[in-house]
Structure 1
Amino acid sequence: MATTLSFTVTRSARELRPLSDIDDQDGLRFYRSGDGPPLLPTDAGAAAVDPAVIIRRGLADALVHYYPVAGRIREEEPGRKLVVDCTGDGVLFVEADDEVSLSDFGDVLCPPFPCYQELLCEPDGRCAAVVGRPLLFVQVTRLRCGGFVFGLQICHNIADAAGTVQLLRAIGKMSRGMPAPTVSPVWAWELLMARSPPVVTTHGHPEYDDTAAGGNHDMFADQPFVHRAFFFGPKEMSALRDLAGAGARVSRFDMLAAFLWQRRVAALEYADDDEVRVMFVVNARARMVSPAPLPAGFYGNAFAFAVAACAVARRGASARCRSGTWWARATANGYVQSVADLMAQRGRRPRFGRAARTYLVSDVTRAGFEGVDFGWGEGAYGGPAAATLATFHLTVKGAGGEELIVVPMCLPAAAMERLEFDLQTWLNH
């Protein structure tokens, strides 16, 4: 006997995860592109295992724990506040094959990689749109030699470099058959929310001052840009130490960043008395950023910017920093909380580092990208595919096995030619 069944179900509401006011910066509304580690199988048997199959399974298992990454970002009014709608719509995964071998990329693997966009499944032109799109794009490209490239693009609003490495390690461990990540992911975005009412401290936050250091963001818009990488081994770093002076207590990063900032200023031929800036990222994870430290497993954005500024003094074709003011307060207790309050107070969510005469540089020599293991051992390289908005300091192995600091840069072609000549002259002396 046929029956007609009619019923109504009650569905639970989807989970909404508000992003913190540190994540919710206009300057982070893009996808950071990483040419993940090109890897070689450790033995002949491993070569018969399809890395795309293994990694896809590990990625699916990791997303059970990192389920917000499988959601979509929504923008809410007022204030264009971003939230993650935990829809479970998933991430984009692509398998690909290439007839090149790992050796074709050269003796030293470093950005800019040739044809790197072929190794990423999402065109760079769409990287500025984050609302309603997958938060993670992954492409595994099998190489002729049996190795593979893991290409990653992740929405910067959801994770910084440390958080991305944490996610990659989870994917790697679960690709190797582990039942759960070693470090359990923690959301805890509320710890970096603005206070009510917002209370911006006296830090000033010059990193968000859009009027200083040249407000014309398009001053080089009509010029072709080129990518180059510059290498600094023990000999070059020793020479930099000599330049710094005997007994100078300065970190390797600060020393190299200051030197390249000055040479970059000269290459770009700014006018006399122009204000120029250098801005770099400070990791806030180990610092008091709120009433309590961030918990282990937090994978959102947890950083602030330190800024220095000076006036250009030209002498013929050269340039130097004549007088400077340093703003290193990014390490101060309460600084990150003050940044969150600034985001909420201004409403329009100011961008960082947009000024035309600002050099934005980040140290990822200890980020750990190259240490990710999907089952074939550590990567031959791990890190950014190219330099774009920021310049990075990376650690790579030279042809002889020595450790090198590589600094990829992207500059107008004429300025890059001047910079290359300047650095070559300096290195030869």
Structure 2
Amino acid sequence: MSSKLRQLFSVIRKTPELIGPARPTARVIKQLSSLDDQQCLRFQIPMIFFYKNDPSPAMEGKDPVKVIREALSKALTFYYPLAGRLKEVSNRKLMVDCNGEGVLFTEAEGNITLEQLEVGDAVRPPCPYLHELLYNVPGSDGILGCPLLLIQVTRLACGGFILALRLNHTMCDAFALLQFMKAIEDMAKGANEPSLLPVWERELLSPRIPPKITCAHHEYDDQTDSTLAMNPNDHIIKHKSFYFGPKEITALRNQLPQHLRDGCSTFELLTACIWRCRTIALQIDPDEIVRVTCCVNIRGTKYNMKLPNGYYGNAIATPTACSTAGDLSKYSLGYALDLVKKVKATASEEYVRSLIDFMEIKGRPMPAVKGSFVVSDITRGGFEEIDFGWGKPVYAGPPEAVLFMSFYIKYQNNDSGEYGTLVPICLPLRAMKKFEEELKKMTLQ
């Protein structure tokens, strides 16, 4: 976003309000699953959606803020736990008090157009004005006793709008959030109930009796140092996103031996590439252990977890590959890819059950931080399909990366019109320059 546009852009907000379910709902206490209340998920996750002024005939003349506010209230009738508040009980277990207090909703007006933002390349991560588009209501950013969802809808001067939200991650993962957004879409278009009804059933992801750890969980390896693996003098953090289209993916595949070239997914290839480039860029001690954690969706029949359609809790396994920084930097892309493929293949039903039991036995520890990198693939999530009646979003997904985590986002290149994968990266400034150099060498072959 240009400095001139940044100076011009301003947002005027109305007073935030609490939106509860449209109809009375059950006043109950519900227990979260053993995957939900992991320590590493006790944070707020933001998402952002940009929409043009392209209303369907049914939405002609209607106010998107009013439509979304009403649809949100109706959706909360079915997803009423999201309108409650979390509390912690013995052994740090999380429960949600379904008290109907509501989620936070802010109506706002912006003074520029979506076209201006597109020209400024500001509709893709990193979002340079997230604080304007997602107001951090005082007292709302905790985990316990706070609203579980915060939404701001900002009208633009062109008639388009931006929806930004922040969700308590212990309640839902990305796939569950998409399901809830789809319910809001259904209600906005006049449905009486969501096309996919929500299912709680968090007890399906409870520990075994007795619990037993049967698999390696390197994402939770013990450490004597919990600091990030980077130079402590690197205080300037740089955010940037990188596009991987067919040309870049082909260049990466061409570096692989034949047995790996034909048998790897785009996710595995990108993960190996970014993990290797990031490790080199951070100049980590060659003997230091570095890790990459792959967030794996355990819904469906592959993992035999018997989660029903409509389940909207966290259903993510976290298999983790390990290497010394020296080996990862020294050896070819195929070395990193082989590690990623092997560890991803370990994500079985037994692995997930072992992870749940690990949380029970170990008391939900924090995962390893030093030398760790986490990737989450939401290219098949469907956020880019959410249509409240004004067409599909120009961009839908996370507004930025975090220091040790990146997302893979489905993205249409404005220049070519082709679809590829957008990856936000966050690194110290010096490391970002080195990362770009390494990535350029790997994708221009």
RMSD, matched Cα: 2.6
| Paired position in structure 2 for 1:154 | 167
Q: Label 1:220 to 1:94 Cα distance change in 2 as closer, same or farther (>3 A).
A: farther
Aligned length: 409
Read off the aligned partner of 2:408 and give its amino acid letter: H
| Structure 2: unaligned runs, 5 residues or longer | 1-24
Question: Larger radius of gyration, structure 1 or 2?
Answer: 1
1:337 is displaced (CA, Å) by: 2.0
Q: Label 1:268 to 1:218 Cα distance change in 2 as closer, same or farther (>3 A).
A: closer
List aligned pairs for 1:279-294, cutoff 5 A. 279-287=293-301, 293-294=306-307
Q: Label 1:53 to 1:125 Cα distance change in 2 as closer, same or farther (>3 A).
A: closer
Read off the aligned partner of 1:175 and give its amino acid letter: A
**Which of 248, 253, 278 matches 1:264?**
278
1:310 is displaced (CA, Å) by: 1.0
| Paired position in structure 1 for 2:247 | 235
| Paired position in structure 2 for 1:94 | 106
1:195 is displaced (CA, Å) by: 2.5
Q: Does 2:434 align with 1:418? A: yes
Read off the aligned partner of 1:390 and give its amino acid letter: M
CA contact (8 A) 2:219 2:291 kept: no
Q: Label 1:117 to 1:330 Cα distance change in 2 as closer, same or farther (>3 A).
A: farther
**Which of 55, 70, 73 matches 1:60?**
73
Q: Label 1:23 to 1:355 Cα distance change in 2 as closer, same or farther (>3 A).
A: same
List aligned pairs for 1:23-422, cutoff 5 A. 23-42=36-55, 46=59, 48-77=61-90, 79-106=91-118, 109-122=123-136, 127=141, 129-201=142-214, 203-211=215-223, 215-217=226-228, 219-220=230-231, 222=233, 223-247=235-259, 248=261, 249-287=263-301, 293-313=306-326, 319-320=330-331, 326-328=342-344, 330-347=346-363, 349-352=364-367, 354-388=368-402, 389-399=404-414, 400-422=416-438
Q: What secondary structure sits across from 1:327 in the alignment?
A: helix
TM-score, normalisation: structure 1: 0.89
Q: Label 1:343 to 1:289 Cα distance change in 2 as closer, same or farther (>3 A).
A: farther
Cα deviation 1:236-268 (Å, max 9, x = unaligned): 111111012335211111011101111111100
Distance 2:176 2:282 in 1: 34
Cα deviation 1:148-207 (Å, max 9, x = unaligned): 111111110000011000000000110111110000100000000112332222x02111
| Structure 1: unaligned runs, 5 residues or longer | 1-11
1:122 is displaced (CA, Å) by: 2.2
Read off the aligned partner of 2:407 and give its amino acid letter: F
Distance 1:374 1:273 in 2: 51
Distance 1:194 1:43 in 2: 48
Q: What secondary structure sits across from 1:165 in the alignment?
A: helix
Relative to its length, the structure with more helix (as a share) is 2
1:428 is displaced (CA, Å) by: 4.4
Cα deviation 1:302-355 (Å, max 9, x = unaligned): 01012111112289xx655779865335421222222111111112x1123x42
| Paired position in structure 2 for 1:6 | none
CA contact (8 A) 1:162 1:367 kept: yes
CA contact (8 A) 1:228 1:409 kept: yes
Percent of pairs identical after alignment?
38
Distance 1:183 1:360 in 2: 30
